[in-house]
Amino acid sequence: PPLAEVLNLHDFEAVAKAVLTDKAWAYYSSASDDEITIRENRLAYQRVWFRPRILRDVSKVDWSTTILGQNSSLPVYISATALGKLGHPDGELNLTRAAGKHGVIQMIATLASCSFDEIMDAAAPNQPFFLQLYVNGDREITRRYVQHAEKRGVKALFITVDAPQLGRREKDMRMKFVGDDAGAEVQRGQDVKKNEGVARAISSFIDPTLSWKDIPWFKSITKMPIVLKGVATAEDALMAYDAGVQGIVLSNHGGRQLDTARSGLEVLVEVTTAFRARGVRLPSPTFDIFIDGGVRRASDVLKAIALGASAVGVGRPFLYAFSAYGQEGVEKAIQIFRDEFEMNMRLLGARTLEEIVPEMVDASALRSH
């Protein structure tokens, strides 16, 4: 269907399913084991209800923000997703160009199909980026990668901490990996294991020994803010805060890692409750709580913000958008978010993101409330 007929982010998924190869669809859409967590990521948002306020002169509404000090036209960033060329010949550059044009921040994946430098070379002047890091067993490779990224102007380092081993995505594993389009950088010289699905075949370098003891080393090799991506409990959120990193992403990796892990939204309530009990004021100027997984509407984002998130990551919808329509698809996805923010903020009675307060949602149906 023509792009004009795409009305919401769900529509991109249906189009992508129709146009993608079986292999690409399996890799992008799959989640681990029984795919319970990926379903829960959507269901959790449906358990939170709005408490909208009225008569507030909402003629002007503004949903722009800063994320880790960088201007962003949306309280949404493009989360790292690997292997963009499975979906479109230009791969991640579709994200880069659309993000640059519309003031959105892209998190570059370690396992992007396009090389890191290709992506940076396609950037608009002063376009901000974050870098997602899978930590290599050979720390020298990781050190060089991180320091190169910092030198090229990347603004923050998101270390993925929920993937000491990749989850079993059985839909993906049923596809045989043909091995021509693995992540460009880290992949070089890597022994690609066939017949394990795309994800497993490219991830054997990820270091399962990674631990809290490594955090000071990361702080010693970079001045970029460090964010731990894949925190799933209040205990670890507090440990991250104590370790002196600048933030966390409450995430289950889009349901692709530990199946029946809780949704980020569920965890968010547990985390903010624990921080308040500790006397940490939120939002904190030195520590950001991000969340991702299952966000498909601006209303989802507004619920997360009301419950204490600084901003929200979105993965598959942008992948599906460029798989189906290239850069234009990503631009349309951003436009859809914009239109939805405008309408939802008006209807909610919030003129700025600061006016989105906890009282604007009823989250009592979230279990950890």
DSSP symbol at 253:
T
Range 195-234, binding ligand FNR (CB under 6 A): 229
Stretch that binds ligand FNR, among 76-84, 174-182, 211-219, 236-244 (CB under 6 A): 76-84
Angle between helices 298-306 and 36-46 in degrees, nearest 10:
80
d(CA 101, CA 185): 26
Least distance (Å) between residue 243 CB and ligand FNR: 19
Least distance (Å) between residue 146 CB and ligand FNR: 15
- Residue carrying structure tokens 């603004």: 155
Range 241-270, binding ligand FNR (CB under 6 A): 251, 253-254, 256
Closest CA to 230 of 35, 80, 39, 42: 80
d(CA 353, CA 356): 5
Nearer to ligand FNR, 82 or 157 (CB): 82
> Tokens representing 156?
């923050």
Least distance (Å) between residue 16 CB and ligand FNR: 11
Annotated active-site residue in 134, 145, 241, 320: 134
DSSP symbol at 262:
P
Closest CA to 27 of 129, 179, 204, 228: 179
> Tokens representing 22?
């079986």
- Residue carrying structure tokens 């939204």: 265
Three-state DSSP class for residue 168:
coil
Stretch that binds ligand FNR, among 8-16, 220-228, 308-316, 330-338 (CB under 6 A): 308-316
Least distance (Å) between residue 292 CB and ligand FNR: 4
The answer to whether the beta carbons of residues 88 and 94 sit under 8 Å apart is yes
The answer to whether the beta carbons of residues 245 and 161 sit under 8 Å apart is no
The answer to whether the beta carbons of residues 324 and 21 sit under 8 Å apart is no
Active site residue 10: no
Question: Which amino acid belongs to residue 284?
Answer: S
Active site residue 214: no
Annotated active-site residue in 11, 90, 162, 172: 162
Range 97-116, binding ligand FNR (CB under 6 A): 109, 111
Which x/- pattern, by CB under 6 A, does the window 316-345 give for ligand FNR? x-----------------------------
Stretch that binds ligand FNR, among 80-88, 91-99, 122-130, 280-288 (CB under 6 A): 80-88
Instruction: Identify any residues that bridge with 314 across adjacent strands, giving them in sequence order.
Output: 78
Q: Is 95 in the site for ligand FNR (CB under 6 A)?
A: no
Closest CA to 43 of 219, 306, 263: 263
d(CA 108, CA 120): 10
Q: Is 292 in the site for ligand FNR (CB under 6 A)?
A: yes
Nearer to ligand FNR, 86 or 363 (CB): 86
Nearer to ligand FNR, 41 or 106 (CB): 41
Active site residue 134: yes
Which x/- pattern, by CB under 6 A, does the window 155-194 give for ligand FNR? -----x----------------------------------
Count CB-CB contacts under 10 A for residue 152: 15
Among residues 91, 315, 326, 329, the one that binds ligand FNR under rule CB under 6 A: 315
Residue nearest to ligand FNR (CB): 315
Alpha-carbon dihedral of residues 174, 250, 99, 302, nearest 10 degrees? 120
Nearer to ligand FNR, 79 or 272 (CB): 79
* Residues contributing to the site for ligand FNR (CB under 6 A): 27-28, 41, 79-82, 109, 111, 132, 160, 229, 251, 253-254, 256, 292-295, 313-316
Residues assigned a catalytic role: 134, 162, 253
